Each structure stands twice: as C-alpha cells, then as structure tokens.
C-alpha cells in the first residue's frame, strides 16, 4: 500500500552481568545511532535479567518431532530463553554486546548463543531458520587496549555465520579504531571502572558507526 513503510526491529542483547556499566552503555549508544535511521525501532534484552541454563547438547530441538504445535525452540529447558526466542524471531537485526573475559565472550553471553541451536536450519519448531538473513553486528568491551576485543567480535561473527546471518562491521568512516564492530576498552580506567568506557572516544565513535551500519544494511535490503 502506497506510503506504508514497515518498521524494522533491531534487537540489542547485552551479556554483561553489571547493570548500567560499560557494555550496556555502548549497546545503548549503538542502538541510539541506529535509531537515527527512519523506520528503525530498537529493543534491548539484558541477559542478566533472565535465568538461562547452558545448552546440554541433547539436540532434541533438532531431532524430535514438533511438540506443542512446534511452538518451542528448546524442548529441554523452560527458562528465560522462552521470552527471548520470540524477540529473536521478530527482529530484523541483532546487535550482541558483551564484555571480553580471557580474550573471548564471557560465558553468560555464550550461554545465550548456545541456546539458539533450535533456531538453526535443523530446528523442528516455528523457530527454524529464525535468524537467517538477518543482520548481525557486535559490540565488545575489554579491560586492556588489545585484550581480545577483535577475537571476541570474530566469535560473535562466527555465531552469525552459523545462523546464516549477514554480518557487518563498523562501516566506512575513516580511522574507526576497529573495523569489526564496536570496540571499547576500560583502560586506563580513570575513575570508576564501571563507567570507564564513557571516556573512550574511539569506542563511542566505532560503536555509533556499528549501529548506523546495521541500520544501513537493513535499508540496503529493502
């Protein structure tokens, strides 16, 4: 119908155990930048607010015949992920934001990812292929300047590749600080470490770029 533009949802997922600290802040920054594009709405999920059991690799989601009318992405656990799955299905793009622990994703963020097995091509529910062809961007924060941020962004991208998503980096502005996505550091941790990234101008720049790039990619696919 003439003049009707569908609004697309970018879902932000924060994997930080700390409320309102660096990761949350950068994710909000990315989503705000994305929302400058007309036709974009955003929503944020804070993983710490949900009980999410680690996947135990039972593969019921991929092998058992659909139960309950195929409404459940995971047949093993009934936990917080049941609230997250519909958002993953609804969204057009996903921005995963996480702190870097020991050079890679903290276990909480990875637990969330591992529980999306039923959203793969093998899934036997309505969630099969739920993330396919959706746009993915990553935002990370590390305690040192080069503390595994890039490796962690590549880890997020790997997740996207398995889901057959469209993985984007931070876009085309000069000297982004990082090409792979939003990339912050709390070093040298002036003041409260929880807030340190707010003084990381380079992170603020490439994180906003990442948000805009995700939105731009959605527009390229209209």
Choice from 81, 95, 139, 168 touching a copy of itself (CB under 8 A): 168
Per CB under 8 A, does 169 bind a copy of itself? yes
Per CB under 8 A, does 177 bind a copy of itself? yes
Cα 189 to Cα 6, 19, 143, 216, distances in angstroms: 42, 18, 8, 33
Q: How far apart are CA 13 and CA 140, in angstroms?
A: 12
CB atoms within 10 A of CB 191: 9
Binding to a copy of itself (CB under 8 A): which residues in 22-41?
Answer: none
As beta bridge partners, residue 137 has 95
- On whether the CB atoms of residues 139 and 150 are closer than 8 A, the answer is no
Phi, psi (rounded to 5 degrees) for 136: -130, 135
Per CB under 8 A, does 55 bind a copy of itself? yes
Per CB under 8 A, does 49 bind a copy of itself? no
Which CB sits closer to a copy of itself, 12 or 138? Answer: 138
Per CB under 8 A, does 77 bind a copy of itself? no
As beta bridge partners, residue 14 has 46, 97
Per CB under 8 A, does 71 bind a copy of itself? no
Which CB sits closer to a copy of itself, 57 or 68? Answer: 57
Q: How far apart are CA 137 and CA 160, in angstroms?
A: 9
Per CB under 8 A, does 137 bind a copy of itself? no
Coil/strand/helix, residue 196: helix
- On whether the CB atoms of residues 13 and 47 are closer than 8 A, the answer is yes
DSSP state of 65: P
| Count of residues in contact with a copy of itself, rule CB under 8 A | 69
Per CB under 8 A, does 69 bind a copy of itself? no
Which CB sits closer to a copy of itself, 69 or 214? Answer: 214
Which CB sits closer to a copy of itself, 32 or 63? Answer: 63
CB atoms within 10 A of CB 16: 24
Choice from 71, 107, 192, 199 touching a copy of itself (CB under 8 A): 107
* Residues that bind a copy of itself in the complex, under the rule CB under 8 A: 16-18, 54-57, 59, 99, 101-108, 110-111, 113-114, 116-117, 121-122, 129, 132-133, 143-151, 154-155, 157-159, 161-162, 164, 166-180, 183, 187-188, 193, 202, 213, 217, 220-221
């Amino acid at each position: 119908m003439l003049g009707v533009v569908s609004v697309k949802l970018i879902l932000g997922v924060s994997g930080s155990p700390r409320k309102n600290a660096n990761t949350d802040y950068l994710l909000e920054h990315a989503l705000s930048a994305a929302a400058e594009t007309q036709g974009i709405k955003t929503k944020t999920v804070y993983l710490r607010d949900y009980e999410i059991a680690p996947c135990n690799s039972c593969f019921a989601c991929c092998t058992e015949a659909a139960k309950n009318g195929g409404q459940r992405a995971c047949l093993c656990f009934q936990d917080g992920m049941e609230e997250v799955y519909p958002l993953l299905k609804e969204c057009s793009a996903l921005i995963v934001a996480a702190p870097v622990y020991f050079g890679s994703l903290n276990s909480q963020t990875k637990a969330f990812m591992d529980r999306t097995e039923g959203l793969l091509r093998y899934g036997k529910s309505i969630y099969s292929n739920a993330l396919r062809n959706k746009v993915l961007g990553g935002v990370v924060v590390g305690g040192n300047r080069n503390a595994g941020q890039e490796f962690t962004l590549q880890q997020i991208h790997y997740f996207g590749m398995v889901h057959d998503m469209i993985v984007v980096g931070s876009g085309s502005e000069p000297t982004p600080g990082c090409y792979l996505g939003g990339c912050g550091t709390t070093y040298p941790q002036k003041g409260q470490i929880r807030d340190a990234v707010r003084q990381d101008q380079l992170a603020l720049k490439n994180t906003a770029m990442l948000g805009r790039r995700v939105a731009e990619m959605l527009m390229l696919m209209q």
